[in-house]
Structure 1
């Protein structure tokens, strides 16, 4: 009898421990339109991957991800929320669809889900930095772009491929800009073209042979190719320091 009681208590403690670790939870606002329902379904279909992403660098503070929010994508430190509007998802899907992204071998829906994972990694980075008071010297937006790419590479076997879809989204958004204005240079984010090349650089650096075609031959033969390999190595080491310092 005592053995049974001990087993029950052990099982209960395990469940409590697992619940305590699940500090990042998804919350869905009810979809009101067809487009919102489509976005909702795209998100729900990758919900296991979302949790897998969070667990790659667990948050030791409660964080809620609200899908269907009015604003965003953004991280709200006062509410400890990441807010993702449904219309953001549908806009990304429309952009990939219009560009006939399926010609790359990745469907617009999958590419949208890939870009969403990177966006969540980006906002999760803001939350992680805020919750753990991580020191960032330089632009935080650039830092969390890097973190998002590393999260994908570390969380998924094909994480670099997922990050590549996100990089292509930056490229597509850059193509829509006819002329740069002063606000583009004063924005807290880097230019879309810069975000594209920074992401591609990390992808290339993670496996130069596999992703050799991402960089032009002239770039690979220049110092830039070597820089991307060194940059990936350096940022990977920074990632490991984050895990050791804040991951427990």
Structure 2
């Protein structure tokens, strides 16, 4: 899965032509650093340049060991880091860590310059898809972890490049994950596996619920899980209504929301294309 590479390819064509514990998959990112983002040298003239590296820490609990095995045996973190290193000009080194967290979570730490994927998050996703009767719950869990990773890359990008955001950063990070995974390739179509990653990401949030919404849930920096489900489904549908028409109705995306999803996707696509274009590797 090389999703950022596909996004970069299409953006290049466009610019050439027209100048609580968190719920599963949810991040609890520390507050962004107030320090200005380092200058990114995208021209290869000797400016600062970093890379994303991978490290798997020890696991001792059954959940953590299961999640670590799923990620490590399939080289998931290695593929994620490789995708970033091929496409984004990082101003300094960033570590991608597999860690036992004792909760299902993932987060970007701007002080430590690390993206952490908790082993329990992967294990929890695999359990959700096993209970749902998926024929390959491990593959579905890996799909969801890719979307989780790009959510955290959204937080990372805001910090590294000092990007402006006009809404809650958690919602913006969901947008970045959807943008990267749903952007079409040279053939005008999004990679089916990448689209499925967004769908599986939404399914994890759907399983976690918010059945009994509390004041703390309403005050949280994250949107409610069900809201995130409908946002993700809207962006999937809006990115290609013809291919994803089966998502409307039948207990999924309501028709009233679906009517505006193509425009919603167009706004998201334009915003992230504009924000990230200066930071893609030449």
TM surpasses 0.5: yes
> TM (normalized to structure 1)?
0.80
Q: Using the alignment, how far apart are the partners of 1:24 and 1:171 within structure 2?
A: 31
In the other structure, the counterpart of 2:26 is none
Q: Using the alignment, how far apart are the partners of 2:260 and 2:125 within structure 1?
A: 31
Q: 1:42 aligns with which of 52, 67, 70?
A: 70
- Contact conserved, 1:69 with 1:83, CA < 8 A, in 2? no
Question: What does residue range 16-165 of structure 1 map to in structure 2 within 5 Å?
Answer: 23-33=51-61, 35-44=63-72, 45=74, 46-47=76-77, 49-51=79-81, 53-54=83-84, 55-70=86-101, 72-102=105-135, 107-154=136-183, 157-158=191-192, 159-165=194-200
Q: 1:166 aligns with which of 201, 215, 219?
A: 201
Q: 1:41 to 1:232 in 2, by over 3 A?
A: same
More displaced 10-residue stretch of structure 1: 226-235 or 130-139: 226-235
- Contact conserved, 1:167 with 1:195, CA < 8 A, in 2? yes
In the alignment, structure 2 segments of 5+ residues that lack a partner are 1-43
Q: 1:35 to 1:180 in 2, by over 3 A?
A: closer
In the other structure, the counterpart of 2:27 is none
Q: Deviations over 1:54-106 (max 9, x none)?
A: 2454533321111024374111111011122212211221122122233xxxx
CA-CA distance at 1:220 after TM superposition: 8.2
Q: Which structure has the larger Rg?
A: 1
Q: State the SS of the aligned residue for 2:259.
A: helix
Q: State the SS of the aligned residue for 1:101.
A: coil
In the alignment, structure 1 segments of 5+ residues that lack a partner are 1-15
Q: State the SS of the aligned residue for 2:222.
A: coil
Q: State the SS of the aligned residue for 1:240.
A: helix
Q: CA RMSD in A?
A: 2.8
CA-CA distance at 1:221 after TM superposition: 9.4
Q: Give the structure with the higher percent helix.
A: 1
- Contact conserved, 2:144 with 2:204, CA < 8 A, in 1? yes
Higher RCO structure (Cα 8 Å, ≥6 apart): 2
In the other structure, the counterpart of 2:225 is 192
Q: 1:246 to 1:194 in 2, by over 3 A?
A: same
Q: Using the alignment, how far apart are the partners of 1:151 and 1:56 within structure 2?
A: 11
CA-CA distance at 1:137 after TM superposition: 1.3
Q: 1:59 to 1:148 in 2, by over 3 A?
A: farther
Q: 1:215 to 1:56 in 2, by over 3 A?
A: farther
